[in-house]
A and B are shown apart, each in its own frame.
Chain A
Amino acid sequence: MTRATRCTLALALATTTALAAGTLARAQTPARYGLGRPATPDEIRARDIDVMPDGRGLPQGRGTVAEGAAVYAAKCASCHGANGEGASAERLVGRNDGDSFAFATNPKLVRTVGSYWPYASTLFDYTQRAMPFQRPGTLTPNETYGLVAYLLFQNGIVKEDAVMDQATLPKVVMPAHGKFVVDDRKGGRTVK
């Protein structure tokens, strides 16, 4: 359909609406314009890769700390350091004394998955969508589960025999959980 034909159609509809309403006012906004086409279940599955804190979106699969250690050494250590201590890419492993959360005032605190990330789901979601840096999106669900297990173990959050899957990952409580508050700035006189 050409652009000109579309415009003619839209004008005809507008005229009908105006007559029906007995006024020369502009056409009412329709509830829908009927544009676009339905997304198929396969199309949605291919793109719907996000994982939420309660585990929604986690794929089937599983991974252990040992499996994750092998994947980490092969695909992550070159940028994040042999043990997650950071190199060309950011540090992933480390806790602060007493799990201090004085990040606003103490520049010496380490900001890592273990010290600052409030949800384990974020680690899965980000790793599977954005890592490894050179080939993002190529990790299998099992590899990602293993990496999550390994990094949580390195951060002292799960035990060495931990298995990550759809059931266990959402149950992980991160040290930074509960430290975050939703923005309460609303304009006005108070500086927050």
Chain B
Amino acid sequence: MVERPTIFTLAELKRFPGKSMIRFIECSGNGGRAYRLTTATAELTPQQTDGLTSTSEWTGVPLATLLREVGASPKARWLLAEGMDAAVMTRSVPIEMANDDALIAYGQNGEALRPEQGYPVRLMLPGVEGNASVKWLRRIEVADQPFMTREETSKYTDPLPDGTARMFSLVMDAKSLITEPSFPDKLEGHGWCEVRGLAWSGRGRITRVEVSTDGGNTWQNATLDEPVLPKCHTRFRLPWQWSGGEAVLMSRATDETGYVQPTTAELMKVRGPNTQYHFNNIRAWQVGADGVVRLVGGAA
């Protein structure tokens, strides 16, 4: 469904007008360990529960530019991105997403993509589950319907309590996480400290992060550090006076669509306990009277 099937060298891709943008990428399985905790508390770090995400400056050529260059048909609805890894991994991408802010990325943080990040080029789909940003990209094919590859049927689908399963759940909903204090921190002494963390949404900018220090009974607006970029990790802060007693710290992000990060119970109600991806539920940290911080388990 293209007028001119074309082969581009890396050098040729770099001659197109390029674009750099600072965006997060996150594995859609990130957070599974926190979602499924059955113990009251757990000695897990933010890295262990939610470390499969990062923000980089990505540089490349907009995919929309290449689709114009090859004359993609107006009837095109989906495209297939195919890697050159041993499994020649494939994912289908809606054409709207390809024409929005998708990049064929050749640079990351001011240098060429590293081999493990997809050299020479990878697809970069901002705000989308990381698996779809296919690394070591070798081919893009345009079609009128999705290809139904293994990674979008057998994997990366979300069974729902109504007995169906959601497919192409690509966008990562708003999420936040307190990174300080967290396990294995131990608060030393009463008085002022700062609650800090990260918030992000695959649908745009974070507009608000609220922090609770009493297990969700009351909430206060946290400060957002500039710049607040769309689809990008955003740091939040809230000064907090620890009285020395037990406290439960939580953060709740809102994005520019008005979406509010759900509690574990709210998310479990619509997804079920055995769901495999997209764990953006509120995390809670218990501060013990001895200052020891642990992840709170169960449906908070």
- B residues 165-188 with Cβ under 8 Å of A? 165-171, 173
Closest A residue by C-beta to B2: A39
Contact A189/B68 with A105-B272, A130-B88 known, Cβ cut-off 8 Å: no
B192 within 8 A of A: no
Q: Is B38 an interface position by the 8 A CB rule?
A: no
* Measured CA separation A176–B148 after assembly (Å): 13
On whether the beta carbons of B148 and A191 are closer than 8 Å, the reply is no
Sorting the interface of chain A by its residue count into under 10, 10 to 19, 20 to 34 or 35 or more gives: 35 or more
A106 at the interface (CB under 8 A from B): yes
Query: Does B77 belong to the interface (CB within 8 Å)?
Result: no
A20 at the interface (CB under 8 A from B): no
Give A80-115 as 1s and 0s: 1 = Cβ < 8 Å from B's Cβ atoms.
000000000000000000000111111100010100
Residue in A29, A103, A137 whose CB lies within 8 Å of B88 = A137
Interface of A with B (CB < 8 Å)? 6, 29, 31-33, 35-39, 43-44, 47-50, 52-53, 101-107, 111, 113, 116-119, 121-122, 125-126, 129-130, 136-137, 176, 179-189, 191-192
- In the complex, what's the smallest C-beta–C-beta distance from B79 to chain A, in angstroms? 11
B159 touches A52 (CB 8 A): no
Binds A, one of B150-158, B225-233, B236-244, B289-297: B150-158
B contact patch SS: loop
Chain A proximity mask over B198-223: 1 for CB below 8 Å, otherwise 0:
00000110000000000000000000
Report how far A185 CA is from B160 CA in the complex, Å. Answer: 13
The 6 closest A-B pairs by CB, nearest first: A104-B272, A187-B257, A103-B159, A130-B87, A126-B150, A36-B6
Q: In the docked arrangement, what's the CA distance between A69 and B155, Å?
A: 25
Q: Give per-residue flags for B115-129: 1 if the beta carbon is below 8 A from chain A beta carbons, else 0.
A: 000000000000000
Chain A residues whose C-beta falls within 8 Å of the C-beta of B159 in the assembled complex: 101-104
Across the interface, which residues of B come within 8 angstroms of A122, CB to CB?
148-150, 153-154
The main secondary structure of chain A at its interface with chain B is loop
Q: Give the residues in chain B near A137, CB-CB below 8 Å.
A: 86, 88
A113 to B: closest C-beta gap in Å: 8
Residues of chain B touching chain A, judged by Cβ–Cβ distance below 8 Å, are 4-9, 12-13, 15-17, 65, 68-70, 80, 82, 86-90, 138-139, 141, 143, 145, 147-150, 153-154, 157-161, 163-171, 173, 203-204, 255, 257-260, 262, 266-267, 270-275
CB pair A101–B164 under 8 Å, yes or no, is yes
Q: How far is the CB of B283 from chain A (nearest CB, A)?
A: 16
List 11 A–B pairs whose Cβ atoms lie within 8 Å, in order of A's numbering. Answer: A47-B138, A48-B141, A102-B161, A117-B154, A121-B148, A130-B86, A182-B167, A183-B168, A186-B257, A187-B259, A191-B267
B163, A101: Cβ atoms under 8 Å? yes
| B275 to A, closest residue via Cβ | A104
CB < 8 Å neighbour of A33 from B15, B139, B165, B259: B15
Q: How far is the CB of A166 from chain B (nearest CB, A)?
A: 17
Do residues A191 and B258 form an inter-chain contact, with CB atoms below 8 A? no
